[in-house]
Amino acid sequence: MIYSMTGFGKAQKEIQDLQIKVEVKSLNSKFTDLFCRLPKALSAREIEVRNYLTQQLERGKIELSLSMQKANDVTSNTLLPEKQIEELFQELKRLAQQVGVQQLNETSLYLHALSMPNTIQAEQTQETEEEIEALWQSIFELIQEATQECKAFRLREGNVVNEKFKEYIASIKNGLEEVKKQDLIRMPNIKERMKKSLLELGINEDFDQNRFEQEVVYYIEKFDISEEKVRLETHLDYFMEVLKEGNGKKLNFMAQEIGREINTIGSKANDSVIQRLVVNMKDELEKIKEQTANVL
């Protein structure tokens, strides 16, 4: 089986008075590129999270996002903490009246109250951090759940890519079979063209046949693609074996080797039919290369 590097998973749960949400997503990358977005209360746990993600997802551009808030927070759905601001405003008015402030400007007092809730919120956040620290095991279980869902997503994507690989390789093999058929008539055609060219130059039929055969042998060796056909077929078979391993780097390497043999066949064939077949095989190979870049 093979795994794609593209994946997404999420998990959320209400633990006591905390609403916790975890999202894990990954994209293709040659290396392991990890980014963790954690609350400050969990900053000490980042190394543990990174090690777990590296072990489970291995490679790719991986991003984990963890958010938490109080489930019963009345201000969670509003842009500003209205209740806290109102309480602060009333308290400031009471203190101002208590100390005998004359000509109280309620507008200025309200604006001052708007600038103060951050202090209260910071205290509440600190309390939440302490609660979350005590519930770390439950939070880590959510991280595990989201990660496993991301892996399952990768596997589903990998199964789709696996079938695509089989189609592309089968198409290249069909092209190779057509090349073999054309190669059986290609060399006699070359020999006939050479002989015709000699006649067009005014050379009679009684030219040195031995020398002519030597020249034909020379061109046959120059245009011979027998080795390339064998190597290409071997590479295609080995690609299918590596596909069972699910090793993306090996698949990418084999794609390069397949491309090398296809290009050599095209450059040595000196045949328009084979050239067209080579173009079609290269088109299928490009599709393979695009997919191998996203295989784990």
Contact criterion met (CB below 8 Å) for 135 and 143 = no
More confident: 123 or 90: 90
Number of CB atoms found within 10 A of residue 4's CB: 24
Provide the 10 A C-beta neighbour count for residue 108: 9
Among candidates 210, 67, 257, 74, which has minimal Cα distance to 146?
A: 67
Q: Cα(112)–Cα(108) distance, rounded to whole angstroms?
A: 6
- C-beta separation of 75 from 85 below 8 A: no
Whole-structure pTM over 0.95, yes or no? no
225 to each of 2, 166, 232, how far by Cα in Å? 33, 25, 10
The per-residue pLDDT for range 108-128, each reduced to its tens digit, is 767 766 666 454 444 444 445
Is domain 7-73+130-155 in CATH 3.30.230, yes or no?
A: yes
Which residues, 6+ apart, have CB-to-CB distance to 105 below 8 Å? none
Digit-coded pLDDT (tens) for 36-60: 998 887 888 899 999 999 999 988 9
pLDDT per position as a tens digit, 221-263: 777 888 999 999 999 999 999 998 888 889 999 999 999 999 9
Domain borders along the chain are 7-73+130-155, 82-118, 156-292
